[in-house]
Chain A
């Protein structure tokens, strides 16, 4: 999140779509309530009336898998009716930039599409440059080749009628949503769009989020108090684990994972560092060399030297262009290409897409290590119902993990607050903290290499890993993440800046010459010589904007609102003086309030410092499917795409096989989706072992409309089968007024929603909804399409 959940209290309108924070983030909902008590409006767009929708000012239904159509209609509405915040759009986005005249869009495909490789050549997705190499602009935003006009043309097809036919949202409600939210385009109004997996888990997931970003940028709702694209992370430390490279394509701090083509730091930097010719663009990633070299120094210590490229070639490298995300990982496992598997805090036997196939894939492993609080379905896959343990050759090790109350360390919440947690009790029984387990594995692997040797032992031998044999001190690790000076650092005049061994105070001091270490540059400043900033607990709020700048520590540099320069006009005047996170004091040339993004006078630099243009991208050539989000139907859909001949995302990652067949709408006409409950957590690995929680939600269920139930002869509370080409599950039917059939282009379409918390282990067991979800992913991230697929329902 650019802002924090506390910032919801600043919003005039909060629009929840593709998320259900009352259900899944109840503590965050307090801030939604706070806004509403001050008169804010709440819009909820969802296939059914949710716990979040219960208190909404305006609720509108939507068929799963049609978010871009809904948002495309909004974009068109804003541009056609000139409801966007003009100065913000002109100055702070690329709306005025002129695009390559060869860029085209025809019938669902952008220029450069290669039907054979199912990929795009992006060479026409570029700006027109002037003789200095700076993108050309038309400040009037009227040139037909400028981004705003191209957007207008692209989304003109998304009329209220067409969008309503696609989404199933009644036209009047659609218009009410657009109207209510467009109020936030006034400079002194702010709105937040709140989303979670209902937006991301689609074959167009990344483009769904892009469409939210476009709406927010048009309305001037980014970088301001009360305005944000709010990604609600599903666990207390999802943000932290992503920061620390839980995803394969990143090193900690969102540095790119090297590929085999990167044979030196220079090769790598040439590939990953963006360039700019515009003097007003700060282009923050120009600092990349400092961050990667400091990271290598943190990992390889004294062994990392300039003459060995700081150990760059000891890093694991990806095959260029290869996808190592969840779905291809399990496809490779199923093909027998993966021998060993370590699972920590994840339960793919319940939570993975096409889960029955993934459970089978686990049986192709030689060995698997599971580190968990309880024996999960993944840990117990070899003795699950319907299999003979003797038939499973995988050797399984279950490590007893300590829970979060049994260890200390920091977690980073959805709003980027890094918060230190103390240990409350000693680990129960023989359970061990993750740090202890990681330390043992590393120490023992290193001892084996020392004793027996092995291929490419250098990375193991040279790793700066010296925590002894017991539990590593969490504070030591935290300090390493922050980084220190390896020798005295002096300025140009020879004045000592940081003494050898001292903590680096902030990432501006990091170096590319080996004089600093830093495990993750965005965390630099989190644990300094002044102490553990993440342990701060000052709940005062001097700005009155719910920033709480003395509470914990916010990456980066304790900045509470990212891109906060965009909250003031190029002249330095806040768009909304009553709600200004930043104030420019011209008299002494300083900023007050939040920690300003970049520095200098207001018009010295553009506000979006992480983009090499310096402004936000309405035209975003970085995305795989095209620079503008375009609606395509889900891989399994009951409807024809009304907007183009391209039924599906033309470059989605589809893993079609005997175990992953497409369910056809003639046989499986009902849209299926999955979601969660307040009472349970994710795959239920923790909550289904807590009897008090099991009491509150004892079994899996499927929600459906009264109309569908009547058609199928199903009564509330009946046991029903939900099935498709991948499997079938048995659940209790919850027949509810909160679900209604959709009118999709004149045809009645039903949707059902399945709770996916259950499996065959724990105090409460039941079928796993993910036995029905497909191995299909979006083209940018391969995030699985959990949220829109087809099925049929019948009474048991």
Chain B
């Protein structure tokens, strides 16, 4: 049975305990950050930060609300990153997450470019050769495949995070949404049930997805099918090279566009 992570934004207090627990479990180096006018930090995901809280101020109906969104790999069922990975370093795991085997990663970066949520980050592991490896949240693949919960879920002091069989998580999320609607949160909804075949992260939102900086309808990148089914099997033959060039160009453009999806930056 696939599992899923429940992220209830109505009970999340934005304390960043999940950020620090993740770094502790994965022994990730602290990065240099700057205060630029926000509670957020680090300001983006990176090779040393697989998860982070995004803070959004949202004004509606004369009320100011502060929305917290735990961000990181959403573990799509239809995972474009898995489909484009030429070395099978990324794989869909039966437990419901996208696993990452760093030893297999050749640092091509296609996963990063194909991701509809702009999640995987490339970590340069050799400055001289420029060799890089993909990094991202895997639900703590070592923990969840050994009957433990992800480190962030384990630490969450507000009990806003959960980890369970996906159908149970969905049932909990839906029941919570019904309760929230009764409490007057008319925009309350589940995010992740059907998106991209179903996400491993199931959010309970209390405002429109856009208020959190989430795409209302995340899309599987169309050219990814072409890449996986046509280009890769034929290798880098002439026609393939052209297609590959086109695809790469498309990925690069898309990557630039996706910069906006990541977060509402304090200053533009």
Give A residues with C-beta under 8 Å from B: 22-23, 26-27, 29-30, 33-34, 36-37, 39, 49, 51-55, 57, 59, 677-679, 691-701, 715-718, 732-738, 740
Contacts and interface: CB of A to CB of B under 8 A. Distances in A.
B135 interface: no
Contact of A22 (B13, B20, B30): B13
B57 A716 contact: no
A698 B67 contact: no
B87 interface: no
Contacts of B160: 33
A738 B57 contact: yes
Nearest to A24: B15
Interface in B136-168: 157-160
Tell me the interface secondary structure of chain B in the complex: loop
A732 B35 contact: yes
Contacts of B31: 695
B37 A54 contact: no
A24 to B, nearest CB: 10
27 contacts: A22-B15, A22-B158, A23-B15, A26-B158, A29-B157, A30-B158, A33-B158, A34-B159, A54-B13, A54-B66, A57-B183, A678-B13, A678-B15, A679-B16, A695-B32, A695-B41, A697-B41, A701-B35, A701-B37, A716-B37, A717-B36, A717-B37, A718-B37, A732-B37, A734-B38, A736-B57, A737-B59
A561 B65 CA distance: 35
A698 B31 CA distance: 10
Given A30-B157, A33-B11, A738-B57, A53 B66 contact: yes
Given A693-B20, A732-B37, A738-B66, A54 B14 contact: yes
Contacts of A39: 179
Nearest to A28: B157
A27 B157 contact: yes
Contacts of B14: 22, 51, 54, 678
What secondary structure prevails in chain A residues at the interface with B? mixed
B10 A55 contact: yes
Given A22-B13, A692-B23, A716-B266, A698 B34 contact: yes
Given A55-B11, A700-B35, 5 more contacts: A26-B158, A696-B41, A735-B37, A737-B57, A738-B66
Given A37-B179, A54-B66, A678 B57 contact: no
Contacts of B68: 54
A26 B68 CA distance: 14
A732 B67 CA distance: 22
B26 to A, nearest CB: 11
Contacts of A716: 36-38, 266-267
Nearest to B175: A37
A732 B36 contact: yes
A738 B66 CA distance: 8
A55 B41 CA distance: 21
Contact of B35 (A37, A699, A735, A736): A699
B261 to A, nearest CB: 21
A700 B30 CA distance: 18
Interface string B59-75: 10001111110000000
A696 B19 contact: yes
Contacts of A735: 37
Interface string B1-40: 0000000001101111101100110000011111111110
A378 to B, nearest CB: 24
A733 B36 CA distance: 8
A718 to B, nearest CB: 8
A22 B160 CA distance: 12
A716 B267 CA distance: 7
Contacts of B67: 54
Nearest to A38: B179
A57 B32 CA distance: 37
A754 to B, nearest CB: 13
A203 B42 CA distance: 38
Given A692-B24, A715-B267, A737-B59, A26 B33 contact: no
Nearest to A715: B267
A405 to B, nearest CB: 14
B142 to A, nearest CB: 20
B34 A33 contact: no
Contacts of A718: 37
Given A53-B66, A734-B37, A692 B20 contact: yes
A160 to B, nearest CB: 20
B36 A49 contact: no
**Minimum-distance CB pairs A-B, first 8:** A717-B37, A691-B30, A716-B37, A22-B13, A699-B35, A678-B15, A26-B157, A54-B66
B13 A698 contact: no
Contacts of B64: 49, 737-738, 740
A764 to B, nearest CB: 10
A158 to B, nearest CB: 26
Nearest to B160: A33
A37 B65 CA distance: 19
**Most chain B CB inside 10 Å of its own CB: which residue of A33, A54, A718, A738:** A54
Nearest to B184: A57
Contact of B16 (A33, A678, A717): A678
Residue among A30, A695, A700, A733 with most chain B CB within 10 A: A695
A59 B42 contact: no
Nearest to B52: A696
A39 B179 CA distance: 8
B59 A51 contact: no
Contacts of B66: 49, 51, 53-54, 738
Find the residue from B17, B19, B64 having the highest chain A CB count within 10 A: B64
A681 to B, nearest CB: 13
Contacts of B33: 694-696, 698
B54 to A, nearest CB: 13
B60 to A, nearest CB: 11
Nearest to B33: A698
B158 to A, nearest CB: 5
Contacts of B39: 677, 697, 734
A188 B43 CA distance: 48
A55 to B, nearest CB: 6
Contacts of B267: 715-717
Contacts of B34: 698-699
A49 B13 CA distance: 12
